[in-house]
Chains A and B, each alone.
Chain A
């Protein structure tokens, strides 16, 4: 018992020391949260590193000017291991204890939805990065006053994929393979299906698997029998590589297509020849001159390539700074008002926050094709 007590006291004392951060009046505290542990840690770490890097750059340049006064930016980041319950805890901690003026992240829609009541109570706005579920910012036709995002949404992404497949690639028979246990995958599948059928195409096979599965041959065999023109695979790169390899083994030569869960270095190294010639919808073109500067800075500081999330959190930071400057004061409520209708030129495109939806309206999606193991930009494509 004594030993147990000792451990407890030790743990508590360390925790209390950790809490004793000093607050300076000329600092703007900004929260960030996401997964720093668990299977989404790659993206979380990338986001938080980007936020820290950008804040450091602002601070080295003397800080940002809000309402005629110079402020330094301070990032307070917490891990929620991609868990919704911890997301709520963390937002309560950020708003209640750390008294942040705004929160950046998370990347998962399932984590961004339940934090809305906490944000509304604390009057602190949140800018989500790649949370693409429409219900992150709008529920029951009403916009949530403190939720914003910098990415396009699933219905749009689904419409782009369906439109590009039908109109540009001239495919009229599509097969879908999706992860039924994943919210992102179910969302994209739903909107792809609806839009593809609206265009006049037919879904000849609609197969699902469960997250964590490694064998997709039964589903792929059915897809092969249906003889589609294109296979839509709206899930993440690891399963994409596995299922693509198995599809080629089964002799399926059909073009593959995916969404923003695809781009990763791992996709090419794991998928190799199997994903060659595939198309996917992305938030940006990696070869775009606008993103090169950030890419190089990140590589120089952290010694590795940035992931997709980094680009979006980069624009979330730009949006935050522009919002603060427009508000003219360091206050969550004023910032939320200022963000509505704001226009900021980000590296992923023009971000034009609509007051009705809190989404960046009219942001074009980039269509990327995998050619010789490289992500080759095809065109900016807007769904009609």
Chain B
């Protein structure tokens, strides 16, 4: 295997991971499903490109350094998500999900019509700035921030909202505020991912941020396991690499991709790492849970056995 090829896939996996981590906070830890995160990626990609593209390529370009692009892209997505959240977060369950779907599509259709960014013809000439070390660094920072957030009081409050919204509210948790926080953080993550994506492809087109992309991100989160950061990391790397690994199947590749995802979901209904973490304490906890489960099963079997035994005796007598 050649390094440029593998590096390319790793970079894409790293970029996907940034937005998957954000979505993991929203879907996995706060319990809100979104099918519009490609919209936030698009906002990040376009605003990021606006900052870094040199004015000679596009009159609108500002030619600023890459890190300005990252900050601006993330911030723009965050600000938009605040307004989206204000309108939609009072919607419950499926209704919120459909609202995000609408937002994602609306963003794409809007960009199709914005001629200064090239409309649907796309925007070439975005500088090539995304490098593997920078992406990995951002991934590490993103994971650490998320892990600390979830361990904090705020994170526990978000999990409480996921588990039982009404009970959380009764216990004095400001449900709306925590939903909003989760949405904004996830949008910032998606925006930053969008900036990296644009500066990796050197070309952005509204088509790249279609609903398929949003669905892909949600699938990765569910595949990796809801409520697990390690799951999101594993899921992002595996599912980004899988279509490339399956190239040997030629045109059947996507059929096998689908089949592989279904197989894993059947054998691991909670996703790869549902609710578990690959940290020393996480593994210990998982082991204890497993032990407790096995003991419970043995106990149940023993009790069943007693019942059966007594029934047999009864028949015998």
B251 & A96 in contact (Cβ 8 Å cutoff): no
Asked if B308 lies at the interface with its beta carbon under 8 angstroms from chain A, I say: no
B9 & A89 in contact (Cβ 8 Å cutoff): yes
With A183-B120, A186-B119 known, 7 other A-B pairs at CB within 8 A are A3-B263, A3-B267, A37-B253, A84-B205, A84-B207, A93-B244, A110-B203
Q: Which residues of B contact A18 (CB under 8 A)?
A: 247-249
Docked pose: A114 CA to B248 CA in angstroms: 24
Judged by DSSP, the binding face of B is: helix
A11 with B264, Cβ < 8 A, contacts A84-B208, A96-B3, A117-B128 known? no
B1 & A19 in contact (Cβ 8 Å cutoff): yes
A89 with B201, Cβ < 8 A, contacts A140-B57, A210-B109 known? no
- Sampled A-B contacts (24; CB under 8 Å): A1-B268, A4-B267, A4-B272, A11-B242, A11-B245, A15-B246, A36-B250, A37-B251, A37-B253, A37-B254, A85-B208, A89-B9, A96-B5, A109-B121, A110-B122, A114-B124, A114-B202, A117-B128, A140-B57, A180-B112, A180-B120, A181-B206, A186-B119, A186-B121
Asked if A148 lies at the interface with its beta carbon under 8 angstroms from chain B, I say: no
Number of A-B residue pairs with CB-CB distance less than 8 Å in the complex they form: 125
Asked if B65 lies at the interface with its beta carbon under 8 angstroms from chain A, I say: no
**Residues B225-261 near A (CB distance < 8 A):** 242-251, 253-254, 256, 260
Docked pose: A19 CA to B112 CA in angstroms: 39
Q: Which residues of B contact A118 (CB under 8 A)?
A: 4
Question: What is the interface of chain A, defined by CB distance below 8 A to chain B?
Answer: 1, 3-4, 7, 11-12, 14-15, 17-19, 36-37, 78-79, 81, 84-86, 88-89, 92-93, 95-97, 109-110, 113-114, 116-118, 121-122, 133, 135, 139-140, 180-183, 185-187, 210
Contact for B264 among A7, A78, A86, A113, CB less than 8 A: A7
A97 & B251 in contact (Cβ 8 Å cutoff): no
A133 & B4 in contact (Cβ 8 Å cutoff): no
Contact for A113 among B1, B5, B122, B256, CB less than 8 A: B122
Q: Nearest-CB distance from B283 to chain A (Å)?
A: 14
A180 with B113, Cβ < 8 A, contacts A37-B251, A140-B57 known? yes
Q: Nearest-CB distance from A358 to chain B (Å)?
A: 15
Contact for B2 among A1, A96, A110, CB less than 8 A: A96
B5 & A1 in contact (Cβ 8 Å cutoff): no
Encoded as 1 (CB less than 8 Å from any A CB) or 0, chain B from 158 to 170 comes to: 0000000000000
B249 & A114 in contact (Cβ 8 Å cutoff): no
B263 & A181 in contact (Cβ 8 Å cutoff): no
A89 & B244 in contact (Cβ 8 Å cutoff): yes
For the side of the interface on B, what is the size category? 35 or more
A117 with B205, Cβ < 8 A, contacts A19-B248, A186-B120 known? no
Encoded as 1 (CB less than 8 Å from any A CB) or 0, chain B from 1 to 24 comes to: 111110011001000000000000
Contact for A15 among B3, B57, B245, CB less than 8 A: B245
A97 with B1, Cβ < 8 A, contacts A15-B245, A183-B205, A186-B120 known? yes
Q: Which residues of A contact B8 (CB under 8 A)?
A: 88-89, 92
Contact for A183 among B122, B244, B250, B260, CB less than 8 A: B122
Q: Nearest-CB distance from B134 to chain A (Å)?
A: 16
Docked pose: A114 CA to B204 CA in angstroms: 8
Residue of B nearest to A82 (CB): B207
Docked pose: A117 CA to B4 CA in angstroms: 12
Q: Which residues of B contact A81 (CB under 8 A)?
A: 254
Q: Which residues of A contact B57 (CB under 8 A)?
A: 139-140
Q: Nearest-CB distance from A14 to chain B (Å)?
A: 6
Q: Which residues of A contact B201 (CB under 8 A)?
A: 84-85, 88, 114
Q: Which residues of B contact A36 (CB under 8 A)?
A: 250-251
Q: Nearest-CB distance from B126 to chain A (Å)?
A: 9
Residue of B nearest to A97 (CB): B2
A4 with B4, Cβ < 8 A, contacts A37-B254, A181-B120, A183-B205 known? no
Docked pose: A185 CA to B119 CA in angstroms: 11
Docked pose: A89 CA to B12 CA in angstroms: 9
Docked pose: A96 CA to B205 CA in angstroms: 26
Docked pose: A118 CA to B57 CA in angstroms: 20
Q: Nearest-CB distance from B109 to chain A (Å)?
A: 7
Q: Which residues of B contact A86 (CB under 8 A)?
A: 243
Docked pose: A74 CA to B128 CA in angstroms: 32
A-B complex: 3 closest residue pairs judged by Cβ atoms = A18-B248, A96-B2, A114-B203
Q: Which residues of A contact B119 (CB under 8 A)?
A: 180, 183, 186
A133 & B267 in contact (Cβ 8 Å cutoff): no
